[in-house]
Structure 1
Amino acid sequence: MSNTNAFAGPWSTLPTTLTPWIQDVINSMGHTQMTPVQASTIPLFMQHKDVVVEAVTGSGKTLAFVIPILEKLIRRETKLRKNEIGALVDEYFIRELASQIHSVFTLFLSSQPGISHSDSPSSSEETLESLRSSNPPEFPPPLLVVSSDTTPAQDVENLLSTGADIVIGTPGRIEELLLGRGKDVVNVKELEVLVLDEADRLLDLGFQNTVTKILKHLPKQRRTGLFSATMTDADALSELVRVGLRNPARVVVKVQTKKVKKKGDASLAQAVEERRTPASLKNFFLVCRPSEKLLQLCRIIQHETTSQESSRFIVYFATCACVDYFYRILPLFLSSNTSLFSLHGHLTPSTRTRTLASFTASACTPTTPSILLATDVAARGLDLPDVDVVLQFDPPVDPKAFSHRCGRTARAGRSGRAWVLLTGREREYVDFMTLRKIPLKERLPFPSTDTQVTVDDEAEDPEVEPSVQVIRKKVLTDRALNDKATKAYVSFVRAYTKHEASYIFRLKDLDLIGVAKCFGLLRLPKMPELKDSNRDGWQDADLEVSESNRIYNSAPFLTRTPNQWSSYAYADKTQEAKRVSEASQKKVQDSEPPTKKRSRSDQKLVNAAWSKQSSRKDEREKRKEKKERKRRWLKSQKDEPNPKGPDDATEGGEEDDDWDDLAREERMAKKLKRGDISQASFDQEFTDL
């Protein structure tokens, strides 16, 4: 979909004329014409058809279901009661997506006749409050049910107090509203429309039970819509029966690029490529060494800000720990005018909301760019305006997320660029993406000097070592940064082993030492993945402590001397005091005289798991064996007078005591069975711990 063919006619061409105030809101949003997905979906939804919609990111899927929902509720003959729901939007589990859809519904409903707009609210919360305080509107405000904002009991109370006809939420909270606290209160018999947004993820096994319970609870006489940018044929068709769609209409908006071939004076236009990304999006890939990835990332940002005049970026990393770490490291290599924002799943919902709002509202120019560092929590559905460039520091574990990441730019006909950094064997990922109809164009690594550097050069980029020194010098100022670096490195390696395209992303082909350089590690962590790694050229960083015992010098890392880790301090005084206290306790324990040396078998028990089940099992096996020996001996010696113990091992001594113990254990076992004693008492009596 390009700028020239991204529209499919004016809204007036719809078979059903839109309500005037709905049309006014659409015009105020700047959507003078429909996109192809809207022109195809809205008439079907309005004609009581179930739909399965697949269209590239940024193509207008949200309005394709928001408008039919509103029109259906407006055209109802009877008004819904306060405990009845007319439409349900089940959103992918990320709460930011549900909040975004909720804000769109709020925008429309706040514009219905009879509502005052004199004060022009400055936020969606104020818009909602204005709507609730109006005298009373014909259609109540929508209800948002997501975790952390309210409790399930408050969700039920809010529904009853506002009389919301439209509910938007994540699967877990919707299930709680309909089948938990609100089971006997909330009425879904009048439900008109169900929408599953980002349906390919909602239909994953992780949500199967929740979605199935919700669908069984809803009335069969409803309209259902499945929307996604990556709803492949296999994904949709295999699940249609399960989700209860009835004779659905499938809407697939394809993007094709055309090549003009000249033959004499005639020109022939021939479609040569089908894409799952907007035609206005330029996708690039760059192959470099793992140790060079951070340098190449910074050079791409510099290239985009200077030559392309880009100002708003999103950079995707593999894990939350990587985002957290590079958020503190990247300022060392970017201009001081750059604004960085961090967004990942380990942040609290309120923090994520504030971060998104700050990034969206930030005033940025090519000289003062804004960069959002994120995981895939910001990959799907989020409508972040004016994003010029998407950079993928690490390819996503799930290949489906690739197009969703790229789709944060080049939205609604705008142009945009997306980059992905690959290393070594990962070049095969380009062919894999081509098969998934996502074409990528190669760009050579950006050189450090005027000399052209290509991926085939044997020499590592000369700026790698200086950059490592810069990172290490920063890390040495605070031991907490070293902890973050190690955690980020370990999380990256483990995420790498979970790639779905495992035949491309193979850990044995990854230069783990080069990755460690990129992270600026002071020392390699102890982990099984590094057992067979080639450590040539790697030296742990020396910690040279100054006389003040507070300033650390990281250069030049050329000699191997004992690391002064005992003096390597946390910048936070409380955390440092705790570390010193624990180190002192360990020193005291190490100075105590050693206890009696254990045998190898005893040491094996000491090193065993904390659970006592293993030792208890051994004791029970021994007692069982003795009991069996006694049974066999008594049987063989039944007719002999005055028999001695089994195997004549003792004369009324140790073995007789064992027999008495066995008899006593049987008596205690009977008491345990009757409930006269507890299991803990029985184990304490007969287990040698």
Structure 2
Amino acid sequence: MSPHKTQPGNKKESHRVVRRRNEQAEIDSIETKLSNPDAFAGAKYFNDLPISDRTKDGLKKGGFTQLTEIQRKALPLALAKRDVLGAAKTGSGKTLSFLVPVLDILYRSHWNSSDGLGALIISPTRELAVQIFEVLKKIGRTHTFSAGLVIGGKEFDVEQERIARMNILVATPGRLLQHMDQTVGFNCDNLQVLVLDEADRIMDMGFQRTINAVVENLPKQRQTLLFSATQTRSVKDLARLSLKDPEYVAVHEKAEHSTPQKLTQHYVVCELQDKLDILYSFIKTHLKNKVIVFLSSCKQTRFVYEAFCKLQPGIPIIHLHGKQKQTKRVDIFRQFSHSQHAVLFCTDIAARGLDFPAVDWVVQLDCPEDADTYIHRAGRTARFDAEGHALLMLLPTEKDGMLEELKNKKVPIEEIKIRADKQKSIQTQLQSFCFQDPEIKYLGQRAFVAYMRSVYLQRKKNIFKVTELPADEFAHSLGLAGTPKIKFVKKAEKTLGPAKVSAIPSSDEKEEEKEEETQKTKTKYDRMFQKRNQDILSEHYNKLVDYEGDKLGDGDDDDFMTLGRVDHALESDSDDNMKESKADNLSKRQAKMGKKELAKRSSKGEKLVFDEEGKPHQLYEMVDEADFLKDGDAKAQKDAFITETGELMKTADVDDKAMAKQKRAEKKMKRKMKEKEAREMASGNGGSDQEEFESDDEDMDQDSSSEDDDDQEQGKQQKRKWFQKATSDDDEEESSTKKRVLQVDQPETIQDQEALALKLLGGL
């Protein structure tokens, strides 16, 4: 090979060698500096830290230059490959505290695609996982690592093909464990770094077993990083199992308050039935703000979203909950992030870690389950030294217990009052929506049951008192005409004792006791007919709301109210209280009932009058007492009404009987005419017209007399008919008639019929 051809190759090879030599020198320098990580605790910028140039370039291109307090203390320790248990206020920049060490540690280890999975980041929710992955792409663009996002709601087969080639993986616990069990070739034997973001939420309820199973499949020789805004007992238990000599970093542990300094926090005490009115009034007065409204369940979120969309408050409305498809949830997350003015109704799925830019207000319509949940919710605003406001709505029964919880957590919060002249009522509009739209009515019923169940399931019974909730008033505030029956509240009353305000929608306690006593002797058909609200979950309503956008995903664990506490197991109330039934399909037992029995079981009609505001009233409520008493007292007016109505009914009854008699006579005449025509067709001549008319007149007289006799008492003597036995006075007439009868053979031909007719004429 000629020299001029080999020279470029030698230059290229020398350049590669030089680059590798420089990289190794950089790595050695970083390792030397990190031997004493405490020396960098006072760094203010990322460039002051011992990290690679590639990571610095990625941070600069991503717009990250200055360190936050948690980053100053946690990054040097994490870069030194020590286990870190970090706790900081929400919105303080914990994401970069573990992403920067992940990139730099793999870079210093010369990690490439053939080495397999090097870093695993576990997030409790899909939205937070997507957010972490987006930040990773921003700051990791200068590195050569392959990164993947594994969450529920996406195609599992596509993930199986690519997951084995990933160096960094961001995942939710459920889908990660599924790949560990089912994907061939996916292993974590070479894992270097494990990160658990929002560790306290990961260890909640359904996540705990999944995380334990995931940790068992990981190598013991690894670095583990745990970050959360709050540290609970479950997190400390996990730290003892997964971390080795961890460095505890709690930058705000000695702070005066556990929430951001620029966060203004207030609470308002209101009745349960006034919450939606206050929320609507708040939105109407904050049309130029970006607001997040937290509710306790998916069903409530859907109902409030649909109802407020119909109310059209004048601001874009969005909703986010765990029952939506993953693609729709990601679209909603991005839509709200890029919106300047909008209202987001959501569950606690959006309470952890999500970074929505420029949120002005966080409104907690339903009380959080504890102070930690309040901190996470309120942390969606006032992030990174920005200003924000938080409003908490408390019931009178929740006030004392929740304020004590917040006080213990160093949460400064003040009470404010609602101006009555600024509050607008939407109850009439909601009633109209439920009356006109079966879907809104269905969602309202489900929202009512979901809220009552969420309160019943809460562990802190000193705050959440389900037996003291005004259930009837709450149902009416949702626009429902009646209160759905819920048996778990009855169970709570038995265990907790009687309450001041009963949450059982029963109008008569004695009837309830009587039903319980006779329940054993009733058949299942009797119990079925006496059930209330049988159409609450009918198939018709299920079809109305089962639209594509809001179907349940692949079973991930994102719904706040999907609680599985062992000490709060529910009865099979969904089977007993929400039976699907159709009014058109009658059972065999009901089909055999007489009219009287059906009339007894059917509901009695009631005439109502609606006022100008659309509220229903009884007839007497629309008349002044003085005008009412002009016609006499109530008893006299009642007797006069019954007498007058009775006379009208008697007159109408006579007219109905006369009309029925006339119809029967017409029907009889038509039948006789048809018989006459048939005889004429059969006999050819059929006799004289005189005989036919005489026969018809006789039958009509008999029919008329028979109909008249039906209206008389049963003991009266009826008119003798043609088939009855003759009396002695008629014997002579009958005998003379018999003498005139001609005995002839049966006519077979036309000639025989003509001869018979001549004989009959001669006999006459």
Is residue 397 from structure 1 mapped to residue 356 from structure 2 by the alignment? no
Show the counterpart of 2:244: 246
Quick check: which one's helix share is greater? Answer: 2
**Could you tell me whether the CA contact under 8 Å between 2:284 and 2:313 is conserved in 1?**
no
**Could you tell me whether the CA contact under 8 Å between 1:398 and 1:499 is conserved in 2?**
no
Deviation of 1:301 after TM superposition, in Å, equals 2.8
**Could you tell me whether the CA contact under 8 Å between 2:348 and 2:377 is conserved in 1?**
yes
The SS at the match of 1:63 is helix
Show the counterpart of 1:219: 219
Deviation of 1:573 after TM superposition, in Å, equals 13
- Deviations along 1:107-134, whole A, 9 cap, x unmatched? 223344xxxxxxxxxxxxxxxxxxxxxx
Is residue 287 from structure 1 mapped to residue 269 from structure 2 by the alignment? yes
- Written as runs of structure 1 = structure 2, the 5 A alignment for 1:273-672 is 274-305=256-287, 310-331=288-309, 333=311, 335-336=313-314, 338-362=315-339, 364=340, 369-428=341-400, 429-448=402-421, 464=425, 467-528=426-487, 529=489, 533=501, 582-586=582-586, 590-593=590-593
Alpha-carbon distance in structure 1 between the residues aligned to 2:48 and 2:244: 27
Gaps of 5+ in 2: 1-41, 494-498, 508-531, 546-578, 595-764
Aligned partner of 1:80: which letter?
N
- Deviations along 1:359-410, whole A, 9 cap, x unmatched? 2223x3xxxx311100111111111112111111101235422111111111
Aligned partner of 2:224: which letter?
T
Show the counterpart of 1:618: none
**Could you tell me whether the CA contact under 8 Å between 1:287 and 1:421 is conserved in 2?**
yes
Deviation of 1:323 after TM superposition, in Å, equals 0.6
Aligned partner of 1:197: which letter?
D
The SS at the match of 1:275 is coil
Aligned CA distance change for structure 1 residues 46 and 170 (closer, same or farther; 3 Å): same
- Deviations along 1:458-513, whole A, 9 cap, x unmatched? xxx8x54xx32121012111122111111100110110112232211111232223
**Could you tell me whether the CA contact under 8 Å between 2:62 and 2:138 is conserved in 1?**
no
Alpha-carbon distance in structure 2 between the residues aligned to 1:189 and 1:580: 52
The SS at the match of 1:71 is helix
**Could you tell me whether the CA contact under 8 Å between 1:479 and 1:571 is conserved in 2?**
no
**Could you tell me whether the CA contact under 8 Å between 2:145 and 2:168 is conserved in 1?**
no
Aligned CA distance change for structure 1 residues 356 and 275 (closer, same or farther; 3 Å): same
**Could you tell me whether the CA contact under 8 Å between 1:397 and 1:495 is conserved in 2?**
no
Identity across matched positions, percent:
29
- Written as runs of structure 1 = structure 2, the 5 A alignment for 1:130-149 is 138-140=144-146, 142-149=147-154
Alpha-carbon distance in structure 1 between the residues aligned to 2:102 and 2:115: 18
Alpha-carbon distance in structure 2 between the residues aligned to 1:564 and 1:47: 64
Alpha-carbon distance in structure 1 between the residues aligned to 2:297 and 2:46: 43
Alpha-carbon distance in structure 2 between the residues aligned to 1:192 and 1:587: 66
Aligned partner of 1:60: which letter?
G
Pick from 131, 139, 157 the counterpart of residue 100 of structure 1.
131
Alpha-carbon distance in structure 2 between the residues aligned to 1:442 and 1:333: 29
Pick from 34, 53, 67 the counterpart of residue 20 of structure 1.
53
The SS at the match of 2:194 is strand
Alpha-carbon distance in structure 2 between the residues aligned to 1:359 and 1:582: 41
Aligned partner of 2:152: which letter?
S
The SS at the match of 2:586 is helix
Aligned CA distance change for structure 1 residues 24 and 88 (closer, same or farther; 3 Å): same
Alpha-carbon distance in structure 2 between the residues aligned to 1:506 and 1:279: 33
The SS at the match of 1:523 is coil
The SS at the match of 1:583 is coil
Aligned CA distance change for structure 1 residues 290 and 84 (closer, same or farther; 3 Å): same
The SS at the match of 1:295 is helix
The SS at the match of 2:457 is coil
Alpha-carbon distance in structure 2 between the residues aligned to 1:317 and 1:210: 26
**Could you tell me whether the CA contact under 8 Å between 2:88 and 2:252 is conserved in 1?**
yes
Show the counterpart of 2:655: none
- Written as runs of structure 1 = structure 2, the 5 A alignment for 1:181-200 is 181-182=183-184, 185-200=185-200
Deviation of 1:42 after TM superposition, in Å, equals 0.8
Aligned CA distance change for structure 1 residues 83 and 147 (closer, same or farther; 3 Å): farther
Show the counterpart of 1:623: none
The SS at the match of 1:227 is strand
Aligned partner of 1:507: which letter?
V
Alpha-carbon distance in structure 2 between the residues aligned to 1:507 and 1:148: 35
The SS at the match of 1:411 is coil
Aligned CA distance change for structure 1 residues 225 and 301 (closer, same or farther; 3 Å): same
Deviation of 1:247 after TM superposition, in Å, equals 0.6
**Could you tell me whether the CA contact under 8 Å between 1:255 and 1:278 is conserved in 2?**
no
Show the counterpart of 1:555: none
Alpha-carbon distance in structure 2 between the residues aligned to 1:331 and 1:448: 24
Alpha-carbon distance in structure 2 between the residues aligned to 1:565 and 1:99: 42
**Root-mean-square deviation (CA), in Å?**
3.3
Runs of 4+ in 1 over 4 A off after TM superposition: 530-539, 563-566, 569-576
Show the counterpart of 1:164: 166
Gaps of 5+ in 1: 1-6, 113-137, 257-272, 450-460, 540-562, 595-689
**Could you tell me whether the CA contact under 8 Å between 2:468 and 2:502 is conserved in 1?**
no
**Could you tell me whether the CA contact under 8 Å between 1:280 and 1:414 is conserved in 2?**
yes
Alpha-carbon distance in structure 1 between the residues aligned to 2:236 and 2:585: 63
The SS at the match of 1:476 is helix
Alpha-carbon distance in structure 2 between the residues aligned to 1:574 and 1:217: 43
Aligned partner of 2:465: which letter?
R
Aligned partner of 1:318: which letter?
S
Show the counterpart of 2:44: 9
Aligned CA distance change for structure 1 residues 241 and 330 (closer, same or farther; 3 Å): same
Could you tell me the TM-score, scaled by structure 1's length? 0.65
The SS at the match of 1:224 is strand
Alpha-carbon distance in structure 1 between the residues aligned to 2:414 and 2:541: 46
**Could you tell me whether the CA contact under 8 Å between 2:471 and 2:505 is conserved in 1?**
no
**Could you tell me whether the CA contact under 8 Å between 1:83 and 1:187 is conserved in 2?**
no
Alpha-carbon distance in structure 2 between the residues aligned to 1:62 and 1:537: 49
- Deviations along 1:636-671, whole A, 9 cap, x unmatched? xxxxxxxxxxxxxxxxxxxxxxxxxxxxxxxxxxxx
Alpha-carbon distance in structure 2 between the residues aligned to 1:573 and 1:407: 36
Alpha-carbon distance in structure 2 between the residues aligned to 1:99 and 1:236: 23
Aligned CA distance change for structure 1 residues 280 and 296 (closer, same or farther; 3 Å): same
**Could you tell me whether the CA contact under 8 Å between 1:35 and 1:59 is conserved in 2?**
yes
Aligned partner of 2:441: which letter?
N
- Deviations along 1:197-254, whole A, 9 cap, x unmatched? 111122335333322232222222211000111114x3443332222x1110000021
Alpha-carbon distance in structure 2 between the residues aligned to 1:208 and 1:255: 26
Alpha-carbon distance in structure 2 between the residues aligned to 1:334 and 1:343: 18
The SS at the match of 2:585 is helix
Alpha-carbon distance in structure 2 between the residues aligned to 1:180 and 1:228: 30
The SS at the match of 1:274 is coil
Show the counterpart of 1:230: 230
The SS at the match of 1:59 is coil
Alpha-carbon distance in structure 2 between the residues aligned to 1:508 and 1:212: 37
Aligned CA distance change for structure 1 residues 346 and 535 (closer, same or farther; 3 Å): closer
Aligned CA distance change for structure 1 residues 437 and 99 (closer, same or farther; 3 Å): same
The SS at the match of 1:194 is strand
Show the counterpart of 1:176: 178
- Deviations along 1:22-66, whole A, 9 cap, x unmatched? 223323333321001111111001111100000111100000000
